[in-house]
Amino acid sequence: MVERIKRRAAEWWGGSGKESNRPNLLSMIKNGTLDTRLAAILWLLFERGSSVIFASEDKSAGKTSMLSALIDFIPPSYQKSYVYGPKFESPEQEGDFKKTYLLMPGISAKGEADFWGANVAKMLKCSKDLGPFSTTMYGGSPEDVLRIFNASPLKIPNIVLNTIGVIVIVDAINTSGRSVSRRVRQLVLVVPEKSGKPKIITLVGFEPDLDKYIFMDSQSVISNLSKHLKLDVDKLEPEINRLRRRIEAWIAIGTSTSSEVRKAVNQYYISQE
């Protein structure tokens, strides 16, 4: 198992094969991929153990980079288990960890380390008992993502899709010349339904004409997100602001490299113990 992971590590880190080369969330904020509030919401999702899928229609939209950057924000109480395809193997629990976060390169038939076919269903069912997961896949919209899960050859039953949690749609936008701008276009919550497909609730959307993010703040959105995160409704906004202030403080003092971000997050969690 260890040797297989070593051989396929390059599939995860964008060809580098080195964990030290991870992209970082603060640099993505600075280049406009997302803003500090959206970054705080994503951090809170990982902190509270939500499963997250990063999806895009394009190959180089930055979905793997975003997932890679957010791995460092997973609390140290979780065992981070890197699971590589094409065959799904449930990771063993290590040490004193009580919770596991499954981290997978992708769901597709293209990548050597990705999962496809029956192994996707196996992974989703396993995550229900073992813990949350995060991965990437191709899909231009949340509806596309659910459609791919439902269609052949995956044919995932709707009841199993209830484990998905959140879908993040990432875009690569061509600007001038060879310049490419990457941006989070949409963040949605996948809400389980007793029968039929899960319901999609948009939490955040990007408005290109205004060049800004629109955060949905209806009572229904707040209630569903709070329930998903297992938070009281009146604690959701304070929790988002707590993490947003920390992100903005790091930016203000000049935290910039990936190693600095990892160190800062680690120290933050140590101070919370």
Cα 11 from Cα 217, distance rounded (Å): 38
Backbone angles phi, psi at 135, to 5 degrees: -160, -175
Beta strand extents in 2-122 (DSSP E only)? 52-56, 78-82, 99-103
Counting the structural domains of the chain, the total is: 1
211 confidence band (pLDDT: 50, 70, 90): confident
How high does pLDDT run on average in the chain?
88
Please check whether residue 165 is in contact with residue 135, taking contact to mean a CB–CB distance below 8 angstroms: no
What is the spatial distance between Cα 149 and Cα 154, in angstroms, rounded to a whole number? 6
Q: Place 111 in a pLDDT band, splitting at 50, 70 and 90.
A: confident
What letter represents residue 21's amino acid?
A: N
Q: Percent helix, strand and coil across the chain, each rounded to 5?
A: 40, 20, 35
Peptide bond into 192 cis (omega under 30): no
Residue type, 146: L
Mean pLDDT on 195-202:
90
What share of the chain in percent tops pLDDT 90? Answer: 62
Q: According to the model, what pLDDT value does residue 176 have?
A: 52
Q: Is 0.85 surpassed by the pTM of this model?
A: yes
Q: Which residue has the tokens 């948009």?
A: 202
pLDDT, residue 217, reads 92
- Cα 58 from Cα 5, distance rounded (Å): 26
| Mean pLDDT in residue range 160-183 | 78
**For 79-97, how does the pLDDT look when each residue is reduced to its tens digit (9 = 90+)?**
988 888 889 988 877 777 7
Going edge to edge, which strands form the sheet with 78-82? 78-82, 99-103, 133-138, 52-56, 166-174, 180-191, 199-207, 212-215
pLDDT value of position 197: 86
Does the pLDDT value for residue 207 go beyond 50? yes
Domain range for 198 is 2-13+22-272
Question: Tell me, what's the pLDDT at 175?
Answer: 52
The band of 174, judged by pLDDT with boundaries at 50, 70 and 90, is: low
Spatial separation of the C-alpha atoms in residues 113 and 84, rounded to whole Å: 5
Does position 3 have pLDDT exceeding 70, yes or no?
no
Per-residue pLDDT of 4-51, as tens digits, reads: 444 455 455 543 445 556 789 999 999 889 999 999 999 999 999 999
Instruction: Find the CATH number of the domain harbouring 203.
Output: 3.40.50.300
More confident call, 16 vs 257? 257
